[in-house]
A and B are shown apart, each in its own frame.
Chain A
Amino acid sequence: DIQMTQSPSSLSASEGDRVTITCRASQNIGSSLNWYQQKPGQAPKLLIYVASTLESGVPSRFSGSGSVTDFTLTISSLQREDFATYFCQQSARTPHTFGRGTKLEIK
């Protein structure tokens, strides 16, 4: 299975901050990397697919980049509603696998 390693596992930040979350794949996955946001008691919600394509309706302060094994999710200016947990997921090969998540908390 392809292992997905996210860092950091948790992050404290303030509104207006720029934050970056990293996801590393254990082997080459090309651009087959997706990002999800999950709030407590809710299902994950798609933010970015194919490494850098913003899902319709997702604010432009979210962006994704990377390829092969190293990927990043950046939030350019944190808003209160962005405090949540973020997951990466690879779809290059089954079984599809997820990172363990990054919990973004208010400082």
Chain B
Amino acid sequence: QVQLQQWGAGLLKPSETLSLTCAVYGDSISGYYWSWIRQSPGKGLEWIGEVNHGGSADYNPALQSRVSMSVDTSKNQVSLRLTSVTASDTAVYYCARVQVLELFGWFDPWGQGTLVTVSS
């Protein structure tokens, strides 16, 4: 059974960089895409982007200028960086595996979520 365990700083000041890591247990990160998704009361669920084991990434255009994702295959981990955060980046951040079947995809499973608050 695949489990995703995520961690990172939960309180940031405006203009700082958000950094989260997601460790994958029970499966290799190779062969999959891994997504980051955030959830806030104001914006609901928002897809941030996804990255594969080779480092090929696709980002939400709304965040593309500030976001980067990377993988560490030796540690079976995926990471998210979001620069120049503001209060509007306050959200619960989730990592999730992207399951693919032919042309279809879905998110399963999800990490437990990390609340990130941006406040001065």
Q: Which residues from chain A sit less than 8 Å from chain B, CB to CB?
A: 31-32, 34, 36, 43-46, 49-50, 55, 87, 89, 91, 94-101
Contact = CB atoms under 8 A, between A and B. Distances in A.
B104 A97 contact: no
3 closest Cβ contacts across the A-B interface? A43-B110, A98-B45, A46-B108
Contact of A95 (B47, B104, B112): B47
Interface residues of B, number: 23
Given A96-B47, A101-B44, A34 B101 contact: no
Q: A32, A43, A87, A91 — which one has the most chain B CB atoms within 10 A of its CB?
A: A43
B60 interface: yes
B94 interface: yes
Interface string B44-67: 111100000000001011100000
Nearest to B61: A95
In terms of DSSP, what is the predominant structure of the interface of chain A? loop
A50 B104 contact: yes
A49 B99 contact: yes
Interface of B: 35, 44-47, 58, 60-62, 94, 99, 101, 103-113
B108 A95 contact: no
Contact of B58 (A50, A87, A94, A97): A94
B105 to A, nearest CB: 4
B44 A100 contact: yes
A44 B61 contact: no
Contacts of B35: 96
B104 A98 contact: no
Contact of B104 (A36, A49, A99, A100): A49
Contact of B107 (A31, A46, A100): A46
B104 A32 contact: yes
Given A43-B94, A43-B113, A97 B47 contact: yes
